[in-house]
Structure formats: structure tokens, C-alpha cells
A and B are shown apart, each in its own frame.
Chain A
């Protein structure tokens, strides 16, 4: 229970680090309540905002902001989802657009904005606030980086597939693939992309090894051997070392056909691994690729 409350408290804080739409929503709600009470920028009396929508949004925003009540919502949402998902019950986008439109309408009617020029300037500034309160494309850079990494991985996989004669155009291609049993053990990026584009290929362990929220989708759990393989590859990724070459024996036992190591791993470690496996190592698309001998 305390864990959930802590999750709700920290979740609320983290929601404000990237953008400010939650804050903007509160500003809009304050404006709408003022407008409801007859306090407008222009001094005009307008037909009140949709009261039901306003009361509902205010109520739910308060419930979501208080950790204890937010936990009740999290419990209702199976307690599996993160805190941010409880904000699904707050129609934030609708209210931001609705309140923003009413505020703009009110401002355009006010005495302070008499000329067309001042109205256009105000509208531009208003739109700018809406844009600046958002994420400003930070996610785009992250996605572009991932995409570039995936393209490299795709080229690497194409090379592996071609070398394994998996892309034959004869009718028995599927059977060949199964028989070939290409199984990859490599960095996280390679492993996750393999399963997305090549359903015939297997990997030593899946993305749920490092994205633990995915474990909710299955009863299967990883054993100690997979954990050891993951730790060895994490060392290669994070510390540029592949020192535990005994892992290669385990990899062979588990039917892994190819080991892919990041190109920045210490050369001596890579050569030692190749010697141990009795196989040659080569560089493909910035990765070292080591073909392991058959289990039998």
C-alpha cells in the first residue's frame, strides 16, 4: 500500500518535469470557475461554461492529485498501471481546448484588445503558451536515435540471414528456417529488434528481462541461466568487457547460434571468446559477430 502511495506521490512530481499541461489545466479550471461566477476579462456576461464538465474535471483532478485518493483509482485500475494512468479519468485535453477557446473568446471581446493587430498578437502569444507548455519535441530526438539504432540492427540481421541461407526463394524456406534455428544472444537493442521483424528467429531472453512491466503479460519467468547470460551481456554493453567467457559454453548448451557483441568491447576479450568457442569473429555494422558451434 505504501509503495502505491509513494508511486502516486512521485508520479505526480514526474508529470511536471517534461511539460506543464497539468499546471495549465489548473489555470484553465480557475478561469472557468471565475467565468462561471461572472468574472471575465472583457466584463461581459457569457452563458456559463458546461457546468457538469467543469465540476467533474475539478473533482477528478483533485482526486488524482491527492496520493491517498489516487491510490484508490490505481486499485480500481487493477493496480498494475502506473500512477500517470489514473489521470485518464481527467479529460485534460478536452478541458484545455475548451477552456482555452473560452478564454480566447473572452480576451478578443475585451476593451484592452481593440485593434486587429493587438488581437492577432494576443492570439499568437496564447497559442505559443499552449505549445511551450508541452514537451517541445524532446521525444522526437529520443525516437530518432532509436530508429537509427534499429536501422543498423536491421542491416546486421540481414547479413546474418543471408549468411544462413535463410532467405531462399524455394518453397521449403519456412522449413529451412525452423531447421536452421537461428538464435541470437546480443545487446538489448539487437534482441528486441530481432523479435519485431523476424518472428522465425529466437533470442536467448526477451525484452521483459530489462522492461519488467512486460512480465505481467505472462506466467513464464526466467531461470538463473538466462539471468547469467543477461548479466554477462550487460557487462559488455555497459563496461565494454566480456570477461566471463565461460558463458559461451552455457550459450552453446542453450542452442544459441550467434553471439553479437557491441563494437566497443575490448579487442582482447573478443579474441579470447573466439578462441574459447573455436570460431572466427568478424565485424558487421559496428558489432562483433561470433557464430557458435552446434550443440551436438
Chain B
């Protein structure tokens, strides 16, 4: 269990840092947010799981084979990332590190901010405890746990009907089989010898909740770059809305608090806010792993998920704003600020 948590926490660090460094290494050091690198790393890990799952499903291989492939891909990605980071770090590391430290020194934290941070931490802690204590999730339209259990029981993907325990007769559509979250959870259960119920209902929802707040932290930093009080207030209000917004099926709060293991929930609270942050920051390449991850975890229209649409419409809106501002002589980087 401890190993699982450690692995979840550490696996995205290297790939994320490497991807960020390759894509945005030339930008000023204080715009290279380590949190965004972490989220990007997590999305790349999901894409790796998606690739392993797709190969296994198409090749008709076993869960164990899929797990070995996933571990191989992940280790390969970590190794390559470490090598690239080592090379890039030797070239440009010291000066960037110093510039980043200098930028950090300017940020002094007031007592009010500290107080608000404590309030925010308490809210997040309450939500985590609430997820841990529930022992039940909102089940309508979901069979993730049963699917993971059936994978573990048969060591095969989609051969047993998870809802009855009998073998499938007609089978499962390919559009469902290529979604990788149940396989990823089953692989985590296999690798770390943790029960499916704990991984699916507890560990992953808490992990996704933390990822969601990391993305909201990024958004707060973008929307209130020089206002620490407002930034933490933004986080507190977001936490309140997520905790209380559990009344409607499909709402962000319900997804996060009661079915945080679902692809749709991850999309609502992690992927789409991350895409919006990337659009606001004009970090277009960050959108690509989010779009790919969505195609791996949510049933989309031939891979064209909500992230693609949000990115396209938002980009059009940004261009429209820029054009409008230019016409009225107010052009700047953030469209109207």
C-alpha cells in the first residue's frame, strides 16, 4: 500500500519534468511551473497505460502480460526522461535554478495568507477523510470495480461478464475495451498486491482529488499572479463548490467525491481545468497529453473528446478577443486584461 502511494506520487515526476523542459525549456524559469510538469507527467503515464491496454486488447493477451508491458514502457519512459534531464540539466540547469530561486525569494507570505492556507488544507483534509470513510460510491452507470475484479479473477481482459460472473457470449465493444482505467487499476492491484476495492474506491479517488487541487492551484496562480490572498481564496471557494456540488449527476463535485475513479470525473476535475490553464498560459503543447489521456479514459467520438472541443472553442474565443482588442487598441497577452 505504501509502495503504491509512493509509486503514484513519484512516477509522473521525471517524465513530466522532461516533457516540460523539452517543450518549454526556453521560457523564463518562473513560468515553468513544477505542478504543471507533474500533471503532464501523470497524463503521460495514463497514455502509457492506454498504449499497453490497447496492445493487450488487440493482441488478446493476458492481464499479466499487459502489466509487464506497462511496467516496461513506464521504466523506459522514466529512464529516457532521466537521461534527457541529465543532459539538459548539465547545459542549462544552474542558471535556470538560480533564476527560479530568485523568483521564489520575492514571494513573502503574510499571516492572512497562512491562515487561509490552513483553512484550505483543512477543507482538503476533510474531503480526503470523507472519501476514505465512505466505503461506498455512487454506482449508477458504473461497473469499474466489478470489471477490475473480473480482470484479476480471470487474468484476462473482458472475457468474463463482470456483472454476472459468467463468460461473455457476444463480448464487449472495442470502444469500451480500449479505455484503460480498469486495466490500469487491475495492474496496480497486481503490482502492489492491494485489493481492488481499496484501489478503485479509495486510493485513486484521493489521488485524483489531489491532482484536481494541483490543477486548481495552477489556475489560481494564473488568474491571480501577484495576489496571494485572492489565490488562496480562489482555492477555498473551489474546494467548497466541489464539496457541496454533489447534488447533480455529472456535476464536478459528485464526480470527485463519490466516483473519483471514473474517467468522466478525471476529465471534469483534472483534464479540462488543465486544458483551460494551458490555453490561458498559451502552452499549447500541454493540451496534447490531456487530449490523448481523455481518449484513453473516456468514451469519445473516435478520440475527439471534450478536451479537443474545449480547446478549439476556447482558442477561437481567445483569437476573437485578441482581434477585438487589437481593433480597439487594447491588445495585450491576456486578451483584455
Chain A, 197-241, contact with B by CB distance < 8 Å: what is the 0/1 string? 101111111111001011011111100000000000000000000
A146 CA / B230 CA spacing, docked (Å): 39
Q: Are B165 and A199 in contact (CB under 8 A)?
A: yes
Set of chain A residues within 8 Å of B269, measured between Cβ atoms: 93
- A48-62: which have CB < 8 Å to B? 48, 50-53, 55-56, 59-60
- Chain A binding surface, main DSSP class: helix
Q: Given A18-B247, A135-B244: A196 and B197 within 8 A (CB)?
A: yes
Set of chain A residues within 8 Å of B335, measured between Cβ atoms: 50-52
Q: Given A47-B337, A59-B317: A206 and B164 within 8 A (CB)?
A: yes
Q: Are B337 and A85 in contact (CB under 8 A)?
A: no
Task: Looking at the assembled complex, report how far the CB atom of A166 sits from the nearest CB atom of chain B, in whole angstroms.
Answer: 14
Set of chain B residues within 8 Å of A206, measured between Cβ atoms: 161-164
Contact of B336 among A51, A134, A139, A202 (CB under 8 A): A51
Contact of A134 among B138, B244, B314 (CB under 8 A): B244
Q: Are A134 and B243 in contact (CB under 8 A)?
A: yes
Q: Given A52-B336, A92-B252: A214 and B163 within 8 A (CB)?
A: yes
Chain B residue with Cβ nearest A222: B164
**B42 in the interface, Cβ–Cβ < 8 Å?**
no
A219 CA / B172 CA spacing, docked (Å): 6
**B234 in the interface, Cβ–Cβ < 8 Å?**
yes
Q: Are B170 and A52 in contact (CB under 8 A)?
A: no
Q: Are A52 and B140 in contact (CB under 8 A)?
A: no
**A104 in the interface, Cβ–Cβ < 8 Å?**
yes
Chain B, 211-239, contact with A by CB distance < 8 Å: what is the 0/1 string? 00000100100011001001001110110
Set of chain B residues within 8 Å of A205, measured between Cβ atoms: 164
**B105 in the interface, Cβ–Cβ < 8 Å?**
no
Chain A, 227-266, contact with B by CB distance < 8 Å: what is the 0/1 string? 0000000000000000000000000000000000000000
Q: Are B246 and A135 in contact (CB under 8 A)?
A: yes
**B89 in the interface, Cβ–Cβ < 8 Å?**
no
Q: Are A93 and B252 in contact (CB under 8 A)?
A: yes
Task: Looking at the assembled complex, report how far the CB atom of B263 sits from the nearest CB atom of chain A, in whole angstroms.
Answer: 11
- A127-180: which have CB < 8 Å to B? 127, 130-131, 133-136, 138-139, 143, 146-147, 150
Interface stretch of the complex, out of A76-84, A277-285, A286-294? A76-84
Q: Are B253 and A135 in contact (CB under 8 A)?
A: yes
Q: Given A52-B280, A82-B249, A219-B171: A214 and B243 within 8 A (CB)?
A: no
Q: Say which size band chain B's interface belongs to.
A: 35 or more
**A187 in the interface, Cβ–Cβ < 8 Å?**
no
Chain B residue with Cβ nearest A226: B164
Q: Given A52-B317, A78-B300, A214-B163: A105 and B334 within 8 A (CB)?
A: no
Set of chain B residues within 8 Å of A146, measured between Cβ atoms: 136
Contact of B141 among A89, A94, A214, A221 (CB under 8 A): A214
Task: Looking at the assembled complex, report how far the CB atom of A60 sits from the nearest CB atom of chain B, in whole angstroms.
Answer: 7
A213 CA / B142 CA spacing, docked (Å): 9
Chain A residue with Cβ nearest B201: A196
**B318 in the interface, Cβ–Cβ < 8 Å?**
yes
A136 CA / B241 CA spacing, docked (Å): 11
Chain B residue with Cβ nearest A56: B317
Chain B residue with Cβ nearest A24: B241
A88 CA / B318 CA spacing, docked (Å): 19
Chain B, 157-185, contact with A by CB distance < 8 Å: what is the 0/1 string? 00001111110111111001000000000
Q: Given A91-B273, A130-B240, A139-B246: A201 and B168 within 8 A (CB)?
A: no
Q: Are B172 and A217 in contact (CB under 8 A)?
A: yes
In order of increasing CB-CB distance, the 8 nearest A-B pairs are A134-B244, A206-B163, A18-B247, A135-B247, A84-B250, A51-B336, A219-B170, A202-B165
10 A–B contact pairs at CB < 8 A? Answer: A59-B313, A88-B267, A97-B237, A135-B246, A143-B138, A147-B134, A196-B149, A201-B165, A202-B165, A203-B165
